[in-house]
A = this chain, B = another copy of it.
Amino acid sequence: MSHFVHFEPLGRRGEVPEGENLLEVARALGVELESLCGGTGTCGRCRIQILSGDVSQPTASEMEFLTPEDISQGYRLACCTTLTSDCKVGVPPESLSSPQRTQVEGEELPVEPDPIVRAFPAALPQPTLEDLEADAGRLLDALERQHGLKGVSTDIDVLRRISPDLREHLDPGSGTWRVQAVVRGREIIGLLTPDLPSLGLAVDLGTTKIAIYLLDLNTGQTLAARGLMNPQIAYGEDIIARISYVERNPSHPTTLRDLVVAGINKAAGEMCTQIDAEPSHISDTVIVGNTAMHHIFLDLPLKQLARAPYIPAVSSALDVKARDLGLEFMPGSYVHLLANIAGFVGADHVAMLLAAKIEHRPGTTLAIDIGTNTEICLRHDERLISASCASGPAFEGAHIKHGMRAANGAIEHLRIVEDTIEYQTIGGAPPVGLCGSGILDVMAQLYLSGVLDEQGRMHDHTRVRTLGDEREFVLVDERDASQRTDGTDSDHAISFTQKDVRELQLAKGAMSAGIKLLLQSAGVRTDEIDTVIVAGAFGTYIDIASAITIGMLPDLPLDRYHQVGNAAGMGAKLALVSRAKRDEARDLAARIHYLELATHPDFQNTFAQSMFIGLDD
């Protein structure tokens, strides 16, 4: 027997198949509930409120995340709840994983375009009884005669439409067929109407966000850009949850891949429409992402990547036909995937280093891309060493009581002035939680104001209270937090708990330990670092001073720091429009020495020391 459900305030409604939990139902109806654990009841993110109707009894998992008062008000975890009657369900804004701030900005393109694909205009005489040359041969003859191209072959999917394509391009004036042949290496990968630009797509395939850029390959100009949530997020917010989903659902091995492929196809289509073009005009694509995203996207084996010693199926750069990946672009076009380095250092790291010009900066350079995994690269005396540290999802708001991702209403900056809290939210919306940069500010401000000591213990303060058996610092109290306009019934205060402090200590400790061990392995002192590049969405918005204050980043003058935005996306663009940059990325990847921190003999000790709060020494 099935029931009907109505999600408020989104207005999504539908039938609920017998036995499906509300997280699955929400996904099916397009309600993007947060879920870090992939629906296993262990993250507590998919909190919803039953407004009317009857549901299953609360589970033991739910009791860990919900107070008796919560439950009396109808709050439940969607992944643990099934319907026993028709229901109306409220979705609090902090449980929604979108809309969010998605970063597609970056520095302008600092390279002379020299794309790997080129479009050659060609004029072909029509066949006659005296000139019976086949259509493909006729095109090759024209390319040889008019451009000196030799030994060229034609992709099968181009051949599959070559005859009507040529005949549609009859130029009545000259009586010839006029087209542009798009050539990559020695292969014709598509035909274009004369004068149409050759388009290229650069994609930064993040675990959380996907940034897509549509470029004119010949000018290097970005014609359109789009950021979208990675639709895989409904199946787990981190990579381990997603790999685990893939392994638990072997009969649908390509679901997660299909979601991303469909998302890219859709975004590419919309961006093309926006500039009056078609996806079949996209003649080259570069995609970067971390190793797991790369493997899921290419449908590569995951099992050996998810278990020590975390071996990728492939690390080298790849050129794959777009059709073999399900991308509906120019018929014979390729997708170039930059090389990855190791199981937890991916092509996005290489792209970031390319865009950050790590090889072209004077002196010793440290580049940091902060995320669930933080990748760090040190260049010193022509040596490049990279490492990955499991900084965890705390900076993305996970495992933090009132943490959230960078969506509307997230507190992104905060100051404690005596007993008053000054804060700024994304979109100027009423506060609903803390995003990563806000969390970092809270830590620094609590430390500077003496509420936290070096060990991270929370001391007394007018805003510190004990709830249950845990101390917490109240940032926004119930009255302020309840001034919401979205109609949902949620009156929690926004606070920062002792446990949140511990999560942050772990995260910043991992990052700080990684930096120290990298420096140590290269024999470099902290003050010898000339430049620190901070990349990534989170890194762009953080207050560097706060990060230095708590000892997450090295204690160096602020002018040595450069926040470069989505450098991975910029690196993808560079590799898209420039052969030289693509080669440089390949060389870079080949030269990077990977330092495995997990098995480093000093790791545990350094990590333990790095958890102290305060300036790094």
Contact A132-B316, Cβ < 8 Å, known A164-B301, A301-B161: no
Measured CB to CB, the nearest residue on chain B to A302 is B163
Measured CB to CB, the nearest residue on chain B to A154 is B314
Which chain B residues border A160 with CB–CB below 8 Å? 298-301
Is the beta-carbon distance between A156 and B320 smaller than 8 angstroms? yes
Distance from A241 Cβ to chain B, minimum over Cβ atoms (Å): 21
Which chain B residues border A301 with CB–CB below 8 Å? 135, 160-164
Distance from A285 Cβ to chain B, minimum over Cβ atoms (Å): 14
Q: Is A599 an interface position by the 8 A CB rule?
A: yes
A residues 270-311 with Cβ under 8 Å of B? 298-301, 303-305, 308-311
Is the beta-carbon distance between B128 and A309 smaller than 8 angstroms? yes
Is the beta-carbon distance between B167 and A134 smaller than 8 angstroms? no
Cα–Cα distance between A160 and B254 once the two chains are bound (Å): 12
Cα–Cα distance between A18 and B203 once the two chains are bound (Å): 52
Distance from A151 Cβ to chain B, minimum over Cβ atoms (Å): 11
Assign chain A's interface to a size class. 35 or more
Q: Is A343 an interface position by the 8 A CB rule?
A: yes
Which chain B residues border A309 with CB–CB below 8 Å? 127-129, 132
Which chain B residues border A163 with CB–CB below 8 Å? 300-301, 303-305, 311, 313
Is the beta-carbon distance between A313 and B132 smaller than 8 angstroms? no
Which chain B residues border A69 with CB–CB below 8 Å? none
Q: Is A617 an interface position by the 8 A CB rule?
A: no
A residues 133-185 with Cβ under 8 Å of B? 133-137, 140, 153-154, 156-157, 159-164, 167
- Max chain B CB contacts within 10 Å: which of A312, A313, A594? A313
Cα–Cα distance between A153 and B315 once the two chains are bound (Å): 12
Which chain B residues border A153 with CB–CB below 8 Å? 316, 318-319
A residues 87-143 with Cβ under 8 Å of B? 127-129, 132-137, 140
Is the beta-carbon distance between A132 and B314 smaller than 8 angstroms? no
Q: Is A596 an interface position by the 8 A CB rule?
A: yes
Is the beta-carbon distance between A300 and B137 smaller than 8 angstroms? no
Which chain B residues border A323 with CB–CB below 8 Å? 324
Contact A313-B129, Cβ < 8 Å, known A304-B167, A320-B156: no
Which chain B residues border A140 with CB–CB below 8 Å? 316
Distance from A458 Cβ to chain B, minimum over Cβ atoms (Å): 38
Which chain B residues border A596 with CB–CB below 8 Å? 129, 132
- Max chain B CB contacts within 10 Å: which of A140, A160, A299, A323? A160
Which chain B residues border A157 with CB–CB below 8 Å? 324
Q: Is A37 an interface position by the 8 A CB rule?
A: no
- Max chain B CB contacts within 10 Å: which of A140, A157, A309? A309
Q: Is A239 an interface position by the 8 A CB rule?
A: no
Distance from A503 Cβ to chain B, minimum over Cβ atoms (Å): 28
Q: Is A342 an interface position by the 8 A CB rule?
A: yes
A residues 306-346 with Cβ under 8 Å of B? 308-316, 318-321, 323-325, 342-343
Which chain B residues border A342 with CB–CB below 8 Å? 132
Distance from A296 Cβ to chain B, minimum over Cβ atoms (Å): 12
Is the beta-carbon distance between A315 and B159 smaller than 8 angstroms? no
Which chain B residues border A594 with CB–CB below 8 Å? 132
Which chain B residues border A599 with CB–CB below 8 Å? 129
Is the beta-carbon distance between B300 and A159 smaller than 8 angstroms? yes
- Max chain B CB contacts within 10 Å: which of A135, A310, A314? A314
Which chain B residues border A312 with CB–CB below 8 Å? 134-135
Measured CB to CB, the nearest residue on chain B to A161 is B301
Which chain B residues border A134 with CB–CB below 8 Å? 311-316
Measured CB to CB, the nearest residue on chain B to A318 is B156
Cα–Cα distance between A181 and B586 once the two chains are bound (Å): 25
Which chain B residues border A162 with CB–CB below 8 Å? 300-301, 313-314
Which chain B residues border A132 with CB–CB below 8 Å? 309-311, 342-343, 594, 596
Is the beta-carbon distance between A311 and B343 smaller than 8 angstroms? no
Is the beta-carbon distance between B137 and A314 smaller than 8 angstroms? yes
Q: 21 interchain pairs (CB within 8 A)?
A: A129-B596, A132-B310, A133-B315, A134-B312, A135-B301, A135-B312, A136-B313, A136-B316, A137-B314, A140-B316, A153-B316, A153-B318, A153-B319, A154-B314, A156-B320, A159-B318, A163-B300, A163-B303, A163-B311, A164-B301, A323-B324
State the 9 A-B residue pairs at the shortest beta-carbon distance, nearest first: A163-B301, A136-B314, A134-B315, A134-B312, A163-B304, A156-B320, A163-B313, A127-B311, A129-B599
Could you tell me which A residues sit within 8 Å of B by CB distance? 127-129, 132-137, 140, 153-154, 156-157, 159-164, 167, 298-301, 303-305, 308-316, 318-321, 323-325, 342-343, 594, 596, 599
Q: A133-B311, A156-B298 are in contact. List 20 more A-B contacts (CB 8 A).
A: A132-B309, A132-B310, A132-B342, A132-B594, A134-B312, A134-B313, A135-B304, A135-B311, A135-B312, A136-B313, A136-B315, A156-B318, A156-B320, A157-B324, A159-B313, A160-B301, A162-B300, A162-B301, A163-B311, A164-B301
